[in-house]
A and B are shown apart, each in its own frame.
Chain A
Amino acid sequence: MERKELEAKVIELVAMAYGKDAADLSVNSTFKDDLKGASIQMVGLVSELENELDVMVSLQDASACATIGELVDKVEEEM
């Protein structure tokens, strides 16, 4: 999967997990300020990454990502 395609897919999954509009998100969107989610939403996101992209990113690694772009990096490493 090309990087741009992967970014779009991860943004779509983030939007779904956090109840946001994907059009409002980018790789620069931050989990702390732009998404402001609870831990259960990150659990949901990790589950969706596993379901849809067949990669296991640990909750600890995902929670350490400041931006969606950093999460895409983690996913790319696991693919």
Chain B
Amino acid sequence: MNILDQLYEKARLNPQKVAFPEATNEKMMQAAYETGRDGYIHPVLVGDAQEIKTLAVQRGYDLSIFTIVDIHDEAYKAKVIDAYVNQPGRMLKAKALGRRMENPLYFAMAMQAVGDADVTFAGIDNTTGDVLLAGQMIIGMKPGISTISSIGLCDIPGYEGSEGSLLAVGDSAVCTNPNAEQLASIAISACDTVHDLLGWEPRCAMVCYSTLGSGQGELIDKVTEALRIAQEQRPDLAIDGEFQLDAAISPAVAAKKVKRESKVAGKANVVIWPDLNVGNIAVKLIQQFGHANAYGPMLQGFNSVVCDCSRGAPVSEIKGNVVISAVRAAGSKKN
């Protein structure tokens, strides 16, 4: 059973409420329907209820699979706004939130913020920028986290790492040129993401072209400073470095290059790149030469799970990402 099959099974054990603010989109509705029908999630379609119902019937879907939330339901909207603005630290006041909630994306996220949904899933009609902005404004960022970022989960044939053929890597998609503080946030968020999604005890390596001072320069200084910040902020996590990639994931190389105790060296299950140039190229290398499947990007750093899928994604990929998001949301509730 591959990792995605395992995650599907895990989702079915504890289905989460996933809000779909782009429910009228044909691919999105199909993904919501099929994952709901098969018991992986409880799909909540957010938008113009009449339009959603008409389209769902036209497309031959059983309406009983869905919960449909009408953004024109003023009584419900008022209830959500009231609950939202009474939460501490919220950015928007009632009037501003009400205006934003005319957009289903913001409506869905406000529902999530007050506990009426566990995940907001979008990205087919909205851009990544739209989803990130709405997420930061409505869901907010986790305390102590300075940037939204992402990780990907690579399933690499023939790789025998500390989690078998799996390796989590980040950030390969969102934060282009993180400073030390942001890089620390990426590492911390990545640890929490793999713990919530896969139940791993994260062992996170911050990689660059130097292992424990074997090289010098400002590119390395950023990584060592990020490591210091991450370890200070979250001493409970096994985050270590700076390591070259081989010292991070190969026990034999780590034995030669890392001459001190490390919970991470040689057995990292999470690898954090120093910037997006490295991250993007590295993932392409893993895919092209390692023939890996790369799942994600999974957004992280928000107070709760927000998912942005690719606008060109086929239904099968959307369904996979819906299930991954739901499992993350279920995992985060256990913390």
Contacts and interface: CB of A to CB of B under 8 A. Distances in A.
A50 B136 CA distance: 15
A38 B91 contact: no
A43 B137 contact: yes
Contact of B96 (A38, A51, A60): A51
Nearest to A49: B96
- Give the interface SS of chain A, mostly helix, strand, loop or mixed: helix
B133 A47 contact: no
Interface string B113-157: 000000000000000010001001100010000110000000000
A-B CB proximity, top 4 nearest: A47-B91, A50-B96, A51-B93, A43-B136
Interface residues on A, range: 10 to 19
Given A50-B92, A51-B92, A40 B99 contact: no
Nearest to A45: B91
Contacts, number: 34
Given A39-B136, A40-B136, A59-B133, A47 B96 contact: yes
B95 interface: yes
A56 interface: yes
- Give the interface SS of chain B, mostly helix, strand, loop or mixed: helix
Interface residues on B, range: 10 to 19
Interface of A: 38-40, 43-44, 46-48, 50-51, 54, 56, 59-60
Given A43-B133, A43-B137, A47-B137, A38 B146 contact: yes
Given A38-B182, A39-B147, A51-B92, 8 more contacts: A38-B147, A44-B91, A46-B137, A47-B91, A47-B137, A50-B92, A51-B91, A54-B96
A43 B136 CA distance: 7
A49 to B, nearest CB: 9
Contacts of A56: 99
Contacts of B182: 38
Contacts of B91: 43-44, 47-48, 51
Contacts of B129: 59-60
- Highest count of chain B CB atoms <10 Å: which of A47, A54, A60: A47
A38 B182 CA distance: 9
A59 B96 CA distance: 15
A74 to B, nearest CB: 16
A51 B94 CA distance: 8
